[in-house]
Amino acid sequence: MHPICHIKDFPSGYSFLFGICSRRLAAVTLSRIVSLFDENGEVKDKFSTKPADPKQGSRFYTITGMVFSPDSTRLAIAQSDEIIYVYKLGAEWGDKKTICNKLQQMASITAMVWPCIHQHEIWFGLTDGKVKVLGHLMLQTVHFVGHVTNYCA
Protein backbone atom coordinates (compact mmCIF):
# COMPACT_ATOMS: atom_id res chain seq x y z
CA MET A 1 0.00 0.00 0.00
CA HIS A 2 1.35 3.43 -0.90
CA PRO A 3 0.77 6.66 1.04
CA ILE A 4 -2.37 8.47 -0.03
CA CYS A 5 -1.45 11.76 1.58
CA HIS A 6 0.86 13.39 4.06
CA ILE A 7 -0.47 14.30 7.48
CA LYS A 8 0.82 17.85 7.04
CA ASP A 9 -1.62 18.24 4.12
CA PHE A 10 -4.59 17.96 6.49
CA PRO A 11 -5.53 20.54 9.11
CA SER A 12 -6.09 19.38 12.68
CA GLY A 13 -9.50 17.93 13.37
CA TYR A 14 -9.43 14.99 10.93
CA SER A 15 -10.01 11.42 12.02
CA PHE A 16 -9.22 8.42 9.80
CA LEU A 17 -10.49 4.83 9.79
CA PHE A 18 -9.54 1.92 7.52
CA GLY A 19 -12.04 -0.76 6.60
CA ILE A 20 -11.04 -4.29 7.56
CA CYS A 21 -10.23 -5.32 3.99
CA SER A 22 -8.29 -2.02 3.44
CA ARG A 23 -10.42 -1.25 0.37
CA ARG A 24 -12.03 1.75 2.05
CA LEU A 25 -10.78 4.59 4.17
CA ALA A 26 -13.14 6.97 5.95
CA ALA A 27 -12.07 10.44 7.04
CA VAL A 28 -14.24 12.85 9.01
CA THR A 29 -13.64 16.54 9.60
CA LEU A 30 -14.64 18.95 12.33
CA SER A 31 -17.39 20.06 9.95
CA ARG A 32 -18.82 16.51 10.31
CA ILE A 33 -18.42 15.57 6.65
CA VAL A 34 -17.32 11.99 5.96
CA SER A 35 -15.11 11.36 2.91
CA LEU A 36 -14.66 7.83 1.62
CA PHE A 37 -11.44 6.93 -0.20
CA ASP A 38 -10.63 3.87 -2.30
CA GLU A 39 -7.46 1.77 -1.97
CA ASN A 40 -5.63 4.20 -4.30
CA GLY A 41 -6.39 7.21 -2.13
CA GLU A 42 -9.00 8.76 -4.41
CA VAL A 43 -12.08 10.36 -2.86
CA LYS A 44 -15.02 8.31 -4.11
CA ASP A 45 -17.90 9.55 -1.93
CA LYS A 46 -18.77 12.23 0.60
CA PHE A 47 -21.73 12.68 2.89
CA SER A 48 -22.75 14.85 5.81
CA THR A 49 -23.64 13.41 9.17
CA LYS A 50 -26.93 14.31 10.83
CA PRO A 51 -27.61 15.74 14.29
CA ALA A 52 -29.63 13.66 16.75
CA ASP A 53 -32.11 16.52 17.06
CA PRO A 54 -32.48 18.53 13.82
CA LYS A 55 -34.00 21.41 15.81
CA GLN A 56 -30.69 21.88 17.66
CA GLY A 57 -28.78 22.35 14.41
CA SER A 58 -25.64 20.67 13.21
CA ARG A 59 -23.03 22.80 14.95
CA PHE A 60 -23.67 21.41 18.43
CA TYR A 61 -22.12 17.95 18.06
CA THR A 62 -18.83 16.32 17.15
CA ILE A 63 -17.98 12.86 15.86
CA THR A 64 -16.63 10.76 18.74
CA GLY A 65 -16.03 7.48 16.92
CA MET A 66 -16.36 5.53 13.69
CA VAL A 67 -16.21 1.83 12.90
CA PHE A 68 -16.71 -0.12 9.67
CA SER A 69 -18.78 -3.29 9.54
CA PRO A 70 -16.67 -6.41 8.91
CA ASP A 71 -17.60 -6.33 5.20
CA SER A 72 -17.11 -2.52 4.97
CA THR A 73 -20.61 -1.97 3.54
CA ARG A 74 -21.80 -0.09 6.63
CA LEU A 75 -20.24 2.59 8.81
CA ALA A 76 -21.28 3.27 12.41
CA ILE A 77 -20.72 6.85 13.56
CA ALA A 78 -20.91 7.87 17.22
CA GLN A 79 -21.66 11.49 18.05
CA SER A 80 -21.36 13.72 21.11
CA ASP A 81 -25.12 14.35 20.98
CA GLU A 82 -25.53 10.83 22.41
CA ILE A 83 -26.46 8.91 19.28
CA ILE A 84 -25.00 6.23 17.02
CA TYR A 85 -26.00 6.27 13.36
CA VAL A 86 -25.28 3.26 11.15
CA TYR A 87 -24.96 4.30 7.51
CA LYS A 88 -25.46 1.79 4.72
CA LEU A 89 -22.69 2.57 2.24
CA GLY A 90 -23.43 -0.14 -0.28
CA ALA A 91 -21.03 -2.54 -1.93
CA GLU A 92 -20.14 -0.26 -4.86
CA TRP A 93 -18.91 3.32 -4.98
CA GLY A 94 -21.71 5.71 -5.73
CA ASP A 95 -24.39 3.61 -4.03
CA LYS A 96 -26.84 5.77 -2.09
CA LYS A 97 -25.83 6.39 1.52
CA THR A 98 -28.72 5.85 3.91
CA ILE A 99 -29.13 5.65 7.66
CA CYS A 100 -30.18 2.09 8.41
CA ASN A 101 -30.02 2.27 12.22
CA LYS A 102 -30.04 4.99 14.83
CA LEU A 103 -29.52 4.38 18.49
CA GLN A 104 -30.10 7.18 20.98
CA GLN A 105 -28.26 6.86 24.31
CA MET A 106 -28.34 8.70 27.65
CA ALA A 107 -24.61 9.55 27.53
CA SER A 108 -21.98 10.28 24.86
CA ILE A 109 -20.24 7.35 23.21
CA THR A 110 -16.49 7.13 23.84
CA ALA A 111 -15.51 3.99 21.91
CA MET A 112 -16.99 1.41 19.53
CA VAL A 113 -16.00 -1.92 18.04
CA TRP A 114 -17.75 -4.05 15.41
CA PRO A 115 -16.40 -7.59 15.92
CA CYS A 116 -15.75 -9.77 12.87
CA ILE A 117 -17.10 -12.87 14.57
CA HIS A 118 -20.33 -11.09 15.58
CA GLN A 119 -21.25 -9.21 12.41
CA HIS A 120 -24.62 -8.05 13.73
CA GLU A 121 -23.29 -6.58 17.00
CA ILE A 122 -21.71 -3.25 17.84
CA TRP A 123 -20.08 -2.91 21.26
CA PHE A 124 -19.70 0.58 22.70
CA GLY A 125 -18.69 2.44 25.84
CA LEU A 126 -20.36 5.54 27.25
CA THR A 127 -19.15 8.52 29.28
CA ASP A 128 -21.24 7.31 32.24
CA GLY A 129 -19.00 4.22 32.43
CA LYS A 130 -21.46 1.73 30.95
CA VAL A 131 -20.49 -0.79 28.29
CA LYS A 132 -23.32 -1.92 26.03
CA VAL A 133 -23.82 -4.10 23.00
CA LEU A 134 -26.28 -3.51 20.21
CA GLY A 135 -27.28 -7.17 20.08
CA HIS A 136 -28.77 -7.39 16.61
CA LEU A 137 -28.85 -4.52 14.15
CA MET A 138 -32.18 -5.53 12.64
CA LEU A 139 -33.91 -5.78 16.03
CA GLN A 140 -32.02 -2.86 17.63
CA THR A 141 -31.86 -4.64 20.98
CA VAL A 142 -29.33 -3.15 23.40
CA HIS A 143 -27.88 -5.15 26.28
CA PHE A 144 -25.98 -3.81 29.27
CA VAL A 145 -22.62 -5.58 29.53
CA GLY A 146 -20.88 -3.91 32.46
CA HIS A 147 -19.83 -0.74 34.22
CA VAL A 148 -16.40 0.81 34.73
CA THR A 149 -15.50 3.62 37.11
CA ASN A 150 -12.72 5.08 34.96
CA TYR A 151 -12.68 5.38 31.21
CA CYS A 152 -10.49 6.84 28.48
CA ALA A 153 -11.95 8.89 25.67
Domains and CATH numbers, the chain: 7-147 (2.130.10.10)
Of 38-42, 53-57, 72-76, 122-126, the poorest mean pLDDT is in 53-57
Whose CA is closest to 46, among 55, 57, 34, 37?
Answer: 34
Average pLDDT, the chain: 80
The proportion of the chain whose per-residue pLDDT surpasses 90, expressed as a percent, equals: 28
**Predicted TM-score (pTM) above 0.85:** no
pLDDT range class, residue 83, cuts 50, 70, 90:
very high
Tell me, what amino acid is at 46? K
- pLDDT higher for 16 or 130? 130
